[in-house]
Chain A
Protein backbone atom coordinates (compact mmCIF):
# COMPACT_ATOMS: atom_id res chain seq x y z
CA UNK A 1 0.00 0.00 0.00
CA UNK A 2 2.80 2.41 0.91
CA UNK A 3 4.56 1.69 -2.37
CA UNK A 4 1.85 3.65 -4.14
CA UNK A 5 2.90 6.84 -2.31
CA UNK A 6 6.17 7.68 -4.01
CA UNK A 7 7.76 11.14 -4.33
CA UNK A 8 6.24 11.80 -7.73
CA UNK A 9 2.80 11.02 -6.34
CA UNK A 10 3.34 13.46 -3.48
CA UNK A 11 4.47 16.07 -5.98
CA UNK A 12 1.35 15.43 -8.06
CA UNK A 13 -0.92 15.84 -5.05
CA UNK A 14 0.89 19.04 -4.08
CA UNK A 15 0.46 20.35 -7.61
CA UNK A 16 -3.26 19.59 -7.68
CA UNK A 17 -3.78 21.32 -4.33
CA UNK A 18 -1.80 24.36 -5.41
CA UNK A 19 -3.66 24.63 -8.74
CA UNK A 20 -7.03 24.35 -6.98
CA UNK A 21 -6.00 27.03 -4.49
CA UNK A 22 -4.85 29.23 -7.36
CA UNK A 23 -8.23 28.79 -9.04
CA UNK A 24 -10.03 29.75 -5.83
CA UNK A 25 -7.86 32.84 -5.45
CA UNK A 26 -8.43 33.76 -9.10
CA UNK A 27 -12.21 33.41 -8.90
CA UNK A 28 -12.41 35.27 -5.59
CA UNK A 29 -10.19 38.11 -6.76
CA UNK A 30 -12.32 38.59 -9.88
CA UNK A 31 -15.52 38.28 -7.85
CA UNK A 32 -14.44 40.79 -5.21
CA UNK A 33 -14.40 43.47 -7.93
CA UNK A 34 -17.61 42.51 -9.72
CA UNK A 35 -19.89 43.24 -6.77
CA UNK A 36 -21.86 46.46 -7.06
CA UNK A 37 -20.27 49.03 -4.80
CA UNK A 38 -23.67 50.51 -3.92
CA UNK A 39 -24.95 47.15 -2.72
CA UNK A 40 -26.03 47.12 0.96
CA UNK A 41 -23.55 45.48 3.35
CA UNK A 42 -20.87 45.35 0.63
CA UNK A 43 -18.09 45.57 3.22
CA UNK A 44 -19.30 42.42 4.96
CA UNK A 45 -19.57 40.69 1.58
CA UNK A 46 -15.96 41.56 0.76
CA UNK A 47 -14.80 40.39 4.19
CA UNK A 48 -16.59 37.10 3.52
CA UNK A 49 -14.90 36.68 0.15
CA UNK A 50 -11.58 37.51 1.77
CA UNK A 51 -12.20 34.62 4.17
CA UNK A 52 -12.24 32.26 1.21
CA UNK A 53 -8.87 33.58 0.06
CA UNK A 54 -7.58 33.16 3.63
CA UNK A 55 -8.48 29.48 3.54
CA UNK A 56 -6.87 29.08 0.11
CA UNK A 57 -3.70 30.68 1.48
CA UNK A 58 -3.66 28.31 4.45
CA UNK A 59 -4.04 25.33 2.08
CA UNK A 60 -1.15 26.66 -0.04
CA UNK A 61 1.03 26.99 3.05
CA UNK A 62 0.22 23.40 3.98
CA UNK A 63 0.92 22.15 0.44
CA UNK A 64 4.29 23.89 0.40
CA UNK A 65 5.25 22.43 3.77
CA UNK A 66 5.13 25.72 5.68
CA UNK A 67 3.18 24.45 8.66
CA UNK A 68 4.08 27.34 10.98
CA UNK A 69 2.65 29.87 8.52
CA UNK A 70 -0.51 27.79 8.15
CA UNK A 71 -1.18 27.41 11.88
CA UNK A 72 -0.33 31.05 12.56
CA UNK A 73 -2.65 32.40 9.89
CA UNK A 74 -5.36 29.89 10.80
CA UNK A 75 -5.37 31.39 14.30
CA UNK A 76 -5.04 35.03 13.25
CA UNK A 77 -7.47 35.21 10.30
CA UNK A 78 -10.73 35.12 12.32
CA UNK A 79 -9.48 37.88 14.62
CA UNK A 80 -8.61 39.93 11.56
CA UNK A 81 -12.02 39.52 9.93
CA UNK A 82 -13.82 40.26 13.19
CA UNK A 83 -11.74 43.38 13.83
CA UNK A 84 -12.49 44.76 10.37
CA UNK A 85 -16.22 44.04 10.58
CA UNK A 86 -16.42 45.42 14.12
CA UNK A 87 -14.60 48.61 13.16
CA UNK A 88 -16.89 49.14 10.19
CA UNK A 89 -20.04 48.47 12.20
CA UNK A 90 -19.23 50.96 14.97
CA UNK A 91 -17.24 53.41 12.86
CA UNK A 92 -18.85 53.83 9.47
CA UNK A 93 -21.85 51.59 9.01
CA UNK A 94 -24.73 54.07 9.32
CA UNK A 95 -27.50 51.80 8.06
CA UNK A 96 -26.95 48.81 10.35
CA UNK A 97 -25.91 50.90 13.33
CA UNK A 98 -29.05 53.02 13.11
CA UNK A 99 -31.15 49.87 12.72
CA UNK A 100 -29.54 48.38 15.82
CA UNK A 101 -30.00 51.65 17.72
CA UNK A 102 -33.69 51.74 16.77
CA UNK A 103 -34.11 48.20 18.00
CA UNK A 104 -32.49 49.08 21.33
CA UNK A 105 -34.52 52.28 21.66
CA UNK A 106 -37.79 50.44 20.94
CA UNK A 107 -36.95 47.84 23.53
CA UNK A 108 -36.20 50.43 26.21
CA UNK A 109 -39.24 52.48 25.24
CA UNK A 110 -41.44 49.41 25.64
CA UNK A 111 -39.90 48.64 28.99
CA UNK A 112 -40.14 52.19 30.32
CA UNK A 113 -43.62 53.07 29.06
CA UNK A 114 -45.77 53.62 32.19
CA UNK A 115 -49.09 52.74 30.49
CA UNK A 116 -47.76 49.47 29.18
CA UNK A 117 -46.27 48.60 32.54
CA UNK A 118 -49.63 49.24 34.28
CA UNK A 119 -51.50 47.08 31.77
CA UNK A 120 -48.99 44.28 32.23
CA UNK A 121 -49.34 44.46 35.98
CA UNK A 122 -53.15 44.29 35.80
CA UNK A 123 -52.99 41.34 33.44
CA UNK A 124 -50.58 39.48 35.70
CA UNK A 125 -52.73 39.98 38.78
CA UNK A 126 -55.90 38.88 36.99
CA UNK A 127 -54.12 35.85 35.60
CA UNK A 128 -52.97 34.81 39.04
CA UNK A 129 -56.51 35.14 40.41
CA UNK A 130 -57.93 33.07 37.61
CA UNK A 131 -55.28 30.40 38.10
CA UNK A 132 -55.92 30.20 41.78
CA UNK A 133 -59.67 30.04 41.27
CA UNK A 134 -59.73 27.34 38.65
CA UNK A 135 -56.36 25.58 39.21
CA UNK A 136 -55.32 25.43 35.55
CA UNK A 137 -51.81 25.62 34.03
CA UNK A 138 -50.02 28.85 33.08
CA UNK A 139 -50.51 28.23 29.35
CA UNK A 140 -54.27 28.80 29.64
CA UNK A 141 -53.95 31.95 31.74
CA UNK A 142 -55.56 34.20 29.13
CA UNK A 143 -58.53 31.88 28.70
CA UNK A 144 -58.95 31.79 32.42
CA UNK A 145 -58.77 35.57 32.50
CA UNK A 146 -61.67 35.82 30.03
CA UNK A 147 -63.78 33.28 31.84
CA UNK A 148 -63.07 34.95 35.15
CA UNK A 149 -64.21 38.31 33.84
CA UNK A 150 -67.43 36.83 32.51
CA UNK A 151 -68.18 35.12 35.78
CA UNK A 152 -67.58 38.36 37.64
CA UNK A 153 -70.02 40.15 35.37
Chain B
Protein backbone atom coordinates (compact mmCIF):
# COMPACT_ATOMS: atom_id res chain seq x y z
CA UNK B 1 0.00 0.00 0.00
CA UNK B 2 1.38 3.38 -0.97
CA UNK B 3 2.26 5.89 1.71
CA UNK B 4 0.36 8.64 -0.10
CA UNK B 5 -2.84 6.61 0.10
CA UNK B 6 -2.26 5.92 3.80
CA UNK B 7 -1.72 9.61 4.47
CA UNK B 8 -4.91 10.49 2.60
CA UNK B 9 -6.89 7.99 4.67
CA UNK B 10 -5.35 9.45 7.84
CA UNK B 11 -6.41 12.92 6.70
CA UNK B 12 -9.93 11.65 6.05
CA UNK B 13 -10.14 10.28 9.60
CA UNK B 14 -8.89 13.59 11.02
CA UNK B 15 -11.45 15.46 8.93
CA UNK B 16 -14.29 13.26 10.13
CA UNK B 17 -13.28 14.05 13.73
CA UNK B 18 -13.18 17.73 12.81
CA UNK B 19 -16.65 17.33 11.28
CA UNK B 20 -17.99 15.93 14.56
CA UNK B 21 -16.40 18.74 16.58
CA UNK B 22 -17.91 21.28 14.16
CA UNK B 23 -21.34 19.79 14.77
CA UNK B 24 -20.75 20.14 18.51
CA UNK B 25 -19.80 23.81 18.04
CA UNK B 26 -22.99 24.38 16.02
CA UNK B 27 -25.07 23.02 18.88
CA UNK B 28 -24.00 25.77 21.33
CA UNK B 29 -26.75 28.26 22.17
CA UNK B 30 -25.33 31.24 20.37
CA UNK B 31 -25.75 32.58 16.86
CA UNK B 32 -22.04 33.33 16.51
CA UNK B 33 -21.17 29.76 17.51
CA UNK B 34 -23.56 28.55 14.83
CA UNK B 35 -21.78 30.72 12.29
CA UNK B 36 -18.36 29.42 13.32
CA UNK B 37 -19.54 25.81 13.32
CA UNK B 38 -21.23 26.10 9.94
CA UNK B 39 -18.17 27.71 8.40
CA UNK B 40 -15.88 24.99 9.75
CA UNK B 41 -18.34 22.29 8.65
CA UNK B 42 -18.29 23.67 5.11
CA UNK B 43 -14.50 23.67 5.10
CA UNK B 44 -14.36 20.11 6.41
CA UNK B 45 -16.81 18.79 3.81
CA UNK B 46 -14.93 20.63 1.05
CA UNK B 47 -11.59 19.07 2.01
CA UNK B 48 -13.21 15.65 2.40
CA UNK B 49 -14.69 15.91 -1.10
CA UNK B 50 -11.35 16.95 -2.62
CA UNK B 51 -9.44 14.15 -0.87
CA UNK B 52 -12.11 11.56 -1.68
CA UNK B 53 -12.13 12.68 -5.29
CA UNK B 54 -8.36 12.25 -5.42
CA UNK B 55 -8.49 8.80 -3.78
CA UNK B 56 -11.38 7.50 -5.87
CA UNK B 57 -10.39 9.28 -9.07
CA UNK B 58 -13.74 11.02 -9.47
CA UNK B 59 -13.55 14.44 -11.08
CA UNK B 60 -16.98 15.78 -10.27
CA UNK B 61 -16.22 15.67 -6.53
CA UNK B 62 -13.96 18.67 -7.09
CA UNK B 63 -16.71 20.57 -8.87
CA UNK B 64 -19.05 20.01 -5.96
CA UNK B 65 -16.30 21.02 -3.53
CA UNK B 66 -15.65 24.22 -5.46
CA UNK B 67 -19.32 25.19 -5.40
CA UNK B 68 -19.57 24.33 -1.71
CA UNK B 69 -16.49 26.38 -0.83
CA UNK B 70 -17.74 29.48 -2.64
CA UNK B 71 -21.35 29.26 -1.50
CA UNK B 72 -20.36 28.48 2.08
CA UNK B 73 -18.17 31.56 2.32
CA UNK B 74 -20.80 33.76 0.66
CA UNK B 75 -23.53 32.44 2.97
CA UNK B 76 -21.47 32.91 6.11
CA UNK B 77 -20.50 36.47 5.20
CA UNK B 78 -24.09 37.28 4.26
CA UNK B 79 -25.49 35.97 7.51
CA UNK B 80 -22.75 37.75 9.46
CA UNK B 81 -23.80 41.03 7.81
CA UNK B 82 -27.42 40.43 8.81
CA UNK B 83 -26.35 39.70 12.39
CA UNK B 84 -24.17 42.83 12.37
CA UNK B 85 -27.11 45.06 11.40
CA UNK B 86 -29.36 43.66 14.08
CA UNK B 87 -28.72 46.45 16.61
Contact = CB atoms under 8 A, between A and B. Distances in A.
Interface of A: 11-12, 14-16, 18-19, 21-23, 25-26, 28-30, 32-33, 37, 43, 46-47, 50, 53-54, 57, 60-61, 64, 66, 68-69, 72-73, 76, 79-80, 83-84, 86-88, 90-93
Interface in B6-38: 6-8, 10-11, 13-15, 17-18, 20-22, 24-25, 28, 30-33, 35-36
B28 A37 contact: yes
Given A14-B4, A19-B10, A29-B17, A87 B69 contact: no
Contact of B33 (A46, A53, A54): A46
Contact of A15 (B7, B46, B51): B7
12 contacts: A11-B2, A18-B11, A32-B21, A64-B50, A64-B51, A69-B65, A80-B76, A80-B77, A84-B76, A87-B35, A87-B81, A87-B83
Contact of A33 (B7, B24, B36): B24
Contact of B36 (A12, A46, A93): A46
Contacts of B17: 25-26, 29-30
B3 interface: yes
Q: Interface size class for chain B?
A: 35 or more
Contact of A69 (B25, B40, B69): B69
Nearest to A76: B73
Contacts of A15: 3-4, 6-7
B33 to A, nearest CB: 7
Contact of A32 (B25, B35, B65, B76): B25
A52 to B, nearest CB: 11
